[in-house]
Structure formats: structure tokens, C-alpha cells
Amino acid sequence: MQKFVIRGGRSLSGELRLQGSKNSALPIMAAALLCRDECVLRDCPALTDIYAAARILNFTGCKCTFSDNTAVIDPKEIVRTDIPESLMHEMRSSIIFMGAMLGRTGECVVSVPGGCELGPRPIDMHIAALEKMGVDISSEGGRIVCRIPKRKAHGAKLTLAFPSVGATENIILCAVTADGETVINNAAREPEICDLCGFLRKCGARIQGDGESRITVRGVEELHGCEYTVMPDRIAAATYLSMVAAAKGELILTNACVPETEPFLSVLEQTGCSIYTGKDKIYLRSAARLRAVRERIRTMPHPGFPTDAQAVLMAALTAAEGTSVFEENIFDCRYRHTDALVKMGADIQVLGKVAIVKGVKRLHGASVEATDLRGGAAMVAAALSAEGISEVTGISHIDRGYERIEDAVGALGGDLKRFGE
């Protein structure tokens, strides 16, 4: 079992180039299944979730190789349409292969993703939408068996009860080669949806309205391959900015997607940090002591404050002057990092979906266990700002989303070491 040992209290300064977005790269890798020839994806982050997606592709018969942040996917031959439970469970978002596999072959067998560390992760919206597009879906011994009687799905007018990112992606993936037009009302507007659509359009898909709440997809006969560069990771940006805000110092992020990160930046700015942005750069100079954020920080679908940045910002605000209030509106179990922060001296009270964070003078080091990806990153941010030494276990969660985090923190002058096998 690996762990991080972090000596806190050093300020962090320097420049980092942001990794490509995990949440873009995963659906784009699934989308490659729809193509008739090779796809080359640049700036794919080297993460365990990406390797899991590559294993799923290889299992189906696609040939996926990965080196130097480039995934080369040759999807010419598909020999399997069932994805084993073990592979599905390696990565929570494996359900995204459902829409792509259906679009390519008209059938698939996948597993129910089940509960995860953020609480139950239902897929009712995915299923209801795909059924409206002509997919027969049944459950057999915990497996979801999907088949399109006519092999090709048909377009449909759909309205999502909630702008789910995964459901929007699955529908788009099934719709791009379906017969006719699909309209998604109340679609998710996350930038990663636009990135997926950007890739699909480059392969010949006809999609309009991504980034807005009404997306229209007109089915085409087939997609060709392309070369595509994955967008930068706005959540990794929020994480490194929160770390430097917490530990104090200066950070220049390059390869940043500035407009997409603004919902986070506009809240971080309220802590008194100086933030300047350029075309693809974000500069931050931390305040001598952060101020609490006056307005309630409500997580919302994009362009609201991102749920994935809630934990890391909370870590920074634990030692701010005054009281900040968070309201988590997307996931049920997204405060699991708070116990660890409290163990490090934070004053946090959780009442249902609200967390009240009273700023303390300083955190102290402690032994804590990461139980989810962003919560784990929050523990690292807190440990870097704390006095003394912390140990963070459960770091496989963190490796799902941050490329060589110890190198990134080390480059900024932080003391974070990985130990163990």
C-alpha cells in the first residue's frame, strides 16, 4: 500500500503545465469505438482511470496503446460487446462505454456501476433515454443487457430530469450514428461535453448546441478517425490553485482553460488571493491570510461552482479568517474528507448538505486516509499548509485523477514523498 508523507508549512511557488482533462479523455476514448479508423488523442493524462479505459478498449478488440500522453486507438475490429464486471468496476465512469458500444454494434452487456464513494450513482436517466432511442434494456444477474432490435438506434426528443454529465454523454454517443435527429433538453453544459462533441465533430459527427442546454445530434452513417488534443483539466487547475492558496506562495498555471475555470476562480478570488488570467494562463498570488468566502458556496451544474472543486477549496478555507458555508447539491456523500480535515485541526460542522467551516489559525499534521479522489486531494492541500508531518493513505484514489502529483508539488517546492509498493 502506498502512502504520501507530507511535511507541511513550506510555501509553494513556481510554474505548472496542466494535465489534460480526465473527464474529457475518458468519454473521448469511449467515443473512439464509434470510428472506423485510427484515432490519436494527445494530452491524455497518465492516470489509472485512463489505463482502465484503455484495458476496456483492448478487451473489446480495439487496439489501444498509450505512451507520452498520447493514446492511439485502432477501433477497426470489435470482437466483444460485453465488458466484464472486473473492468467495469476499475473505473466508475465505465458506463460511458454503453452508448458508444451501442452506437457501434447495436448491442452491449455492461455492469451496474453500483454505489461508489460519492454515494449511490444511479443510471436511471441513461437507461430511460436509451430506451426512448429504441434500445431494449434488461437486467440479468447484475448485468445490464442492451440490444437494439434494428441494430441502429433512432433519434428521439429527450428531456433530462437533471443535467447529468454521464447521461448527456451516453445519449450523444448513441445518437451520432443513429437514424434521424436526437434532441437533448436540459443537457449538461460542462466543458468536457463540448470537448467530446469537438472530437466527434472532427470525426464527422453532426452535433449542435453543446455548451447550451439544448443539444441536437443528427445521425450520420459512420465516423472516421482523427487526431485530437484533449482539453486541459479545470479540476486539476482548481486543485493546484487551492494548494497554493492554502500553503501560500505564487503559481503560474500554463495550458489552462481560463473561461471554463472561471466559476471556480470567481469564488477563490473572494478569499483575497490575487488572480490574473491570460489566454491560457492563470497566475495566483496567495493572500497573507485567506478570508472566508461570504456567500454560500453552492455546488451546481456548470457554469455553477463545480462539485469536484468543493473539497479542495474547503481545505484552503479551513484556515481562513471567518466562517465559510458550503452547500453540496450534486452528490449525497461528498463530505467524507471533512473528518480528516477535522483531525488536522479544522473546525467543520456538517449538517446534511451544508458544511460550516470556521477558520482556525493553522492546521497541524495528522495521519489520514483518502476515501475518494477529490477528498484525497483536499487532504494533500491541507497537509501542505499544516504545521508538521502528515501521512495520507488510500492514495490510489488520488492517482485516479492527478498525474504524478508528487512531481507537481515538488516542482513548487513542497515536500511530498511517495512511499510503499
Chain positions contacting ligand UD1, by CB under 6 A: 23, 26, 93, 121-126, 162, 164-167, 188, 192, 307-308, 330-331
β-strands 227-229, 274-277: how paired?
A: unpaired
**Smallest Cα–Cα separation from 374: which of 299, 285, 290, 271?**
299
Nearer to ligand UD1, 124 or 222 (CB): 124
Task: Kindly give, in sequence order, each residue whose CB lies less than 8 Å from that of residue 349, ignoring residues fewer than 6 positions away.
Answer: 355, 356, 358
- For the CB of residue 313, give the shortest distance to ligand UD1 in the complex, in Å: 14
- For the CB of residue 28, give the shortest distance to ligand UD1 in the complex, in Å: 11
Query: Residue 284 and residue 381: Cα distance in Å, rounded?
Result: 16
**Smallest Cα–Cα separation from 327: which of 300, 304, 354, 308?**
354
Nearer to ligand UD1, 230 or 366 (CB): 230
Nearer to ligand UD1, 186 or 323 (CB): 186
- For the CB of residue 68, give the shortest distance to ligand UD1 in the complex, in Å: 23
Nearer to ligand UD1, 125 or 153 (CB): 125
Q: Which residues of 307-333 are buried (b: 16+ CB within 10 A; e: fewer)?
A: bbbbbbbbbbbbbbeeebbbebebbee
- The DSSP output letter for 388 is S
Q: Residue type for 240, please?
A: Y
Query: Residue 75 and residue 33: Cα distance in Å, rounded?
Result: 6
- For the CB of residue 332, give the shortest distance to ligand UD1 in the complex, in Å: 7
- For the CB of residue 364, give the shortest distance to ligand UD1 in the complex, in Å: 30
Nearer to ligand UD1, 366 or 370 (CB): 370
Query: Residue 266 and residue 279: Cα distance in Å, rounded?
Result: 17
Give the active site residues.
Answer: 116
- For the CB of residue 327, give the shortest distance to ligand UD1 in the complex, in Å: 14
Query: Residue 23 and residue 173: Cα distance in Å, rounded?
Result: 15
Q: How far is CA 285 from CA 94, 244, 250, 411, in A?
A: 38, 8, 4, 17
Nearer to ligand UD1, 162 or 419 (CB): 162
Angle at 301 between CA 137 and CA 196, to 5 degrees: 60
158 sits in which H/E element? strand 157-159
Nearest residue relative to ligand UD1 (C-beta): 166
